Structure formats: C-alpha cells, structure tokens
A and B are shown apart, each in its own frame.
Chain A
Amino acid sequence: EAQVTQNPRYLITVTGKKLTVTCSQNMNHEYMSWYRQDPGLGLRQIYYSMNVEVTDKGDVPEGYKVSRKEKRNFPLILESPSPNQTSLYFCASSFREFSTDTQYFGPGTRLTVL
C-alpha cells in the first residue's frame, strides 16, 4: 500500500530535550516536506526537499532541522524543543516538485513540549 508513515504519532517531551520525528514514504517520491498545523493557521511549511541531499527552508524553519540522506526518509529534528513548537506535524511527499503532482500526507504527529 502506497503511504507516508510518521513516528511517533504522539509525543510529550520537555523543553530542551532533543527529539526526532521520522517520516518515510514507499512511493519513490522525490519531493518531501514537513508542515505544522496550528489552530486557525492552517498548515505552514517548515522545510522541504526536492531530492536526496537537497533541502530548503519553508515559511517557519526556525528551531527545526531536516536531513535527506535517502530518498524514502525525511526526518524532522528539534535540537532544543520549546513550548511554542507544540503542534501537529505532517510530513508529505510527491513524485517531484509540484507542477500538477498530488502531495500525499502522513497521518500526523502530535507533539507537546512542556
């Protein structure tokens, strides 16, 4: 089954404790991205990657890092999480950068930073 998976689905952590949210897709997609969703703000892009070893900042990259060492994986790293990073995070992928290509979203990771 074609899908985007994220782990963990739920995470409660404390300020300053480094964490990684993993994202994996099995569709051989080149393009992957991370979004955060906050009430009343819709989804905002954090980082995106157009291919292996190619990443770039989205609208709200501060406090986040990403890496793209393999085509299928695109982990989101929070080196020193803060309470304002409490949010619902979505990973997405598509075959290539957009044009008319549909983006597939993962199930989401709900992160709470205390």
Chain B
Amino acid sequence: GESVGLHLPTLSVQEGDNSIINCAYSNSASDYFIWYKQESGKGPQFIIDIRSNMDKRQGQRVTVLLNKTVKHLSLQIAATQPGDSAVYFCTFLSGGYNKLIFGAGTRLAVHP
C-alpha cells in the first residue's frame, strides 16, 4: 500500500546548526509532496511543497530536496532555532489529489 517512512523518529540538534529530516515514500505515481510542521497542541502547519518536476525548492530557511529515482525526500532547516522544535511530517497526495498520506513524523528537538 501507499506509505511514507521516516529514517529517524527523533532528531536532536544544537541551536544554530543545520537540520536535515529525511523521508522515503513508496508511491512512485505521486507528483506532489508537502512538508508539515506540528507544534505541541496544534494542528499541522504547511511549511513547503514540491512537485515531481523539480528536485529542489527553497523557502525561508528551509529547502526541500526530492530524489525521484530512490523515492527520497528531505527537509533542510538552516540555522535551526528553538522555535523549530516540533514534529515534522512529509506527506504526498494520493487518490486523485483527494488524500494526503502522512508518515509517522520526526520529532526535532533543538538544544541551546
């Protein structure tokens, strides 16, 4: 079935360092991927997206890389800050764009 897997359930980084969160997906037919951030007690919040015709997209302090050959997605956060502490989900669209497939999430812990 369709699934999204994450390489690490928890990632601890020092404030100011760069963070890389990795994700593997199984559905080669998906052409749209989204990263969400979920802070404690809140719903997921959109961070950045990427279409399959791209291999890199940059936002403010965040970069998403897509490797379709090995079905791998990564989120890079530059100069990680305490406010970046959250659970990060990579997701992809399925079912004719009616459904988001979520992975289990990676918890990012930023230490001073």
Interface size class of B (residues with CB under 8 A): 20 to 34
A44, B42: Cα distance in complex, Å: 16
The B21-43 residues at the A interface (CB cut-off 8 A) are: 32, 34, 41-43
Number of interface residues of A (CB under 8 A): 26
Are A43 and B44 in contact, CB atoms less than 8 angstroms apart?
yes
B68-112: contact bitstring with A at CB < 8 Å (1 yes, 0 no)? 000000000000000000000100010011111011110000000
Of all chain B residues, the one with the shortest Cβ separation from A101 is B97
Are A105 and B45 in contact, CB atoms less than 8 angstroms apart?
yes
Are B44 and A105 in contact, CB atoms less than 8 angstroms apart?
yes
Of all chain B residues, the one with the shortest Cβ separation from A40 is B104
The yes or no answer to A45 lying at the interface (CB within 8 A) is: yes
4 new A-B contacts, CB < 8 A, other than A40-B104, A43-B100, A107-B42, are A42-B4, A100-B49, A103-B46, A105-B44
